[in-house]
Amino acid sequence: MTDVLRRGRAALAFSFFAQGVAFALLVTRIPAIQDRYGVSDGMLPVFLAAVPVLAGVGSVCTEHVVKRIPPSRVLRWAQPVVLLALLGVGAGDQLVVLGVSLAAFGLAVGALDASMNMLGVSLQRSYGRSIMLGFHAVYSLGGIAGASLAWVGAHWDLALFVLYLPVVVVLLPTVFLGSWWYVDAGDDEEKVDAVAGQVPGGGIAFKLLLPLCLVMCFAYIGDSTVSNWSAKYLEDVLGSSDELATVPYNVYMVTTLLGRSIGDYGVRRFGAAAVVRLGAVVAALGFAVVAGAPGAWVGMVGFTLLGLGLCVLVPQTFAAAGRLFPGASDAAVARLNIFNYVGFLIGSPLVGALGDAWSYRGAMLVPMVLVLVTLVYARSFDAQPDRYGVGHERPRTADVGRGSNGL
């Protein structure tokens, strides 16, 4: 493996880490942001919903932009905008500043997520083996780091700007310098190595992409359920203390990191479809344990299983899109990325509405069923033509494509 690919992999991994930090610092300090700007409880969902909606717009735009410039260049400029938008959230005190900052954050994060995963998919193709889960493991590590910094800020009652400024000062120049080592890998090979999923002219057969879109959506419905409802569920339904109610999400993030850290080995050994099936079953079991838990500690076991199960679905869905559409992987990833935000938008309101109308225990069964539906679509994760598993690794790509040395 060439030094170009190794440097590109390390630089991209740091980009995933930085994005994990930035996103965690935003979402974990929402109460402080609400207090700073005087956002009412009624207006808060509007602001929060605007971010994933605009991120979807950013992802759609990225699909068209990368037809003219490489994904590495999109990522190089999108990530600084995300970090500066985060700083803008911490710097202002008027609603218009918050609105502009969140709008910039949403649009840029859509471009960032799409281009980052485009590079990951193409780099995995050049490696000839599964490395995608490793990138998302580093993202989880960044999320844990960001959440820890947010806890420090809350504990010491730091102003948002004081909390965000050192993070941006460190991360922004580092990711920008690292961006010069990004590698747009496998471009020439992808253009000639077409499969049945690609329609004449290099387009995408949406009926083949649709199963992956559904899996992505269901995975994020499950993820947003944990993110938004784990603390409330443990405290209100399972009768935990205030302090214990903060633990499930941390447990979920740690087990997500662990699962993704070893997930690539599982894909290489058993194949992507087998890993996705196992992840779906473990996640469904986690929701079942949470729904039926007699007390807080059993509920924690459920959230642990959820982290181990859900963590493999999203990275492998992006990787599967790259294998199904090797001649149009950038477009496939951009379209697939939209369903990340669709799932995020649906998950929290769905569970909340069902919980109010029925019961929160019953509401946990809905994402359980949706995750199990993934089993129906697991065949879409079978590698065609190149399976990343023992005895099935394809020869490594000799031409690693172009580096991203131009502006």
Predicted confidence (pLDDT) per residue in 122-135, tens digit: 999 999 899 999 99
Token pair 């010069």: residue: 180
What's residue 30's pLDDT?
86
Same-domain check for residues 164 and 215: no
Are residues 202 and 172 located together in one domain of the fold?
no
Q: State pTM to two decimals.
A: 0.87
Q: Which of 253-267, 349-363, 377-391 has the lowest mean pLDDT?
A: 377-391
- Looking at the fold, whether 228 and 148 belong to one and the same domain comes out as no
The answer to the question of residue 403 being in a domain is: no
Asked if 181 and 196 sit in the same domain, the reply is no
pLDDT of residue 101: 97
Q: What is the pLDDT of residues 50-63, one digit of tens each?
A: 999 999 999 999 99
398 part of a folded domain: no
The domain of 14 spans: 1-185
Please state the domain count of the chain.
Answer: 2
What's the pLDDT at 203?
62
For the chain, give the percent of residues with pLDDT over 90: 69
pLDDT in tens, 328-383: 899 999 999 999 999 999 998 999 899 989 999 999 999 999 999 999 999 999 86
Q: 14 with 110, same domain?
A: yes
Domain shared by 209 and 330, yes or no: yes
CA atoms of 381 and 119, how far apart (whole Å):
19
Q: Are residues 216 and 165 in the same domain?
A: no
Asked if residue 287 is part of any domain, the answer here is yes
Q: Do 147 and 253 share a domain, yes or no?
A: no
Residue 248: inside a domain, yes or no? yes
Indicate the residue type of 59. S
Residues 196 and 283 in one domain: yes
Candidate from 21-25, 188-192, 314-318 with smallest mean pLDDT: 188-192
Q: Which of 28-37, 170-179, 198-207, 328-337 has the lowest mean pLDDT?
A: 198-207
Q: Are residues 137 and 97 in the same domain?
A: yes
Q: How confident is the model at residue 385 (pLDDT cuts 50, 70, 90)?
A: very low
> Model confidence at 384, in pLDDT bands (50, 70, 90)?
low
Domain annotation covers residue 326: yes
Residue 151 has pLDDT above 90, yes or no: no
Q: 228 and 365 share a domain?
A: yes
- CB-count burial class (<10 Å; 0-12, 13-18, 19+) for 312: buried
Distance CA 363, CA 250 (A): 22
Is the pLDDT assigned to residue 208 strictly greater than 80? yes
